[in-house]
Amino acid sequence: MLTEAKLKQKQIPRHVAIILDGNGRWAKKRMMPRSYGHEQGALNVKRVAELCKALGVEVLSVYGFSTENWQRPKDEVDFLMDLPKRFQERYDEDTLEEKVKMHDIKVVFSGRRDRFNDYNRQLINEIETKTKDQTAFTLNVCVDYGSQHEIITAAKGVAKDVQVGALELDQIDESRFETYLYTKDLPPVDLLIRTSGEQRLSNYLLWQNAYAEFYFTKTHWPAFRKKALYKAIKAYQNRNRKFGKVGT
């Protein structure tokens, strides 16, 4: 049986990113509305974050809403773009013991902020400010996130800095470019997990996944619990990461 202790004997990925897919299918199987799947999916983020933290993962990125998800029915979009509020409400209701578990988690958000309503935008900013010094573990919540939009925004930032003379053309390299991305303070992704069977990136962390190991599972996101996570980490530990070199 896979245990936390056993996994810790080998290299733990510093940055795990998960495409949280299959909420809708999970709910449908239970003859429940898609929103129920999203709610249970959101609750599962907390569980998996705690498990990752206990394993010694430094950063967990989760993809909760993509720039393409605006094409879904309005009620579903409204529900998903309101998740920060629902999340906060749940947290407020948590017991002290539950709150302690979240205590040293720094929460950051990646994605556009201009399309949230004022309440959720302010909430996101508040959560980031409140948790900014809690550095034991970072939860990077990607909402209204699209990697191509992120890269274009970064390119515009670079162009602007060149234009005003703050940056020389020769100074632009990979590490400089990264400082214009949402993830500027985070290490690159080591392990990318996608639940629910699809094997595609759907515009997620295209730059940051450059050398990530990919892991796909048929398990729907709300059902992705400890055993499934440990299996993914174990698979990662059996990979031979070469980064272009000859390898071992």
Residue 20 binds to ligand IPE (criterion: CB under 6 A): yes
60 DSSP β-pair partners: 16, 139
CA distance 209 to 192: 7
Choosing from 16, 80, 81, 212, the residue that interacts with ligand IPE (CB under 6 A) is 80
Q: Alpha carbon of 133 to those of 104, 127, 182: distances in Å?
A: 8, 11, 18
Pick what 19 binds: ligand IPE, Mg ion, none; C-beta below 5 to 8 Å, kind-dependent. ligand IPE
Task: Tell me how far, at minimum, the Cβ of 18 lies from ligand IPE, in Å.
Answer: 9
Q: Which entry of 44, 69, 120, 140 is annotated as an active-site residue?
A: 69
Q: What is the DSSP letter of 162?
A: H
Q: Tell me if residue 40 falls in helix, strand or coil.
A: helix
Neighbour count for residue 226 (Cβ, 10 Å)? 15
Active site residue 23: no
Q: Which residue number, 63 or 216, has a Cβ lying nearer to ligand IPE?
A: 63
Residue 63 binds to Mg ion (criterion: CB under 5 A): no
Task: Tell me how far, at minimum, the Cβ of 196 lies from ligand IPE, in Å.
Answer: 6
Q: Which stretch binds ligand IPE (CB under 6 A): 59-67, 91-99, 146-154, 164-172?
A: 59-67
What is the total residue count of the chain?
248
Active site residue 140: no
Q: 30: which 2 tokens? A: 């239970």
Task: Lay out the sheet containing 105-110: strands in order across.
Answer: 105-110, 137-142, 59-63, 15-19, 191-194, 213-216
Residue 18 binds to Mg ion (criterion: CB under 5 A): no
Q: 69: which 2 tokens? A: 């998800």
Choosing from 21, 39, 58, 190, the residue that interacts with Mg ion (CB under 5 A) is 21
Catalytic residues: 21, 69
Residues that bind ligand IPE (CB under 6 A): 19-25, 63-66, 69, 80, 196, 198, 200, 202
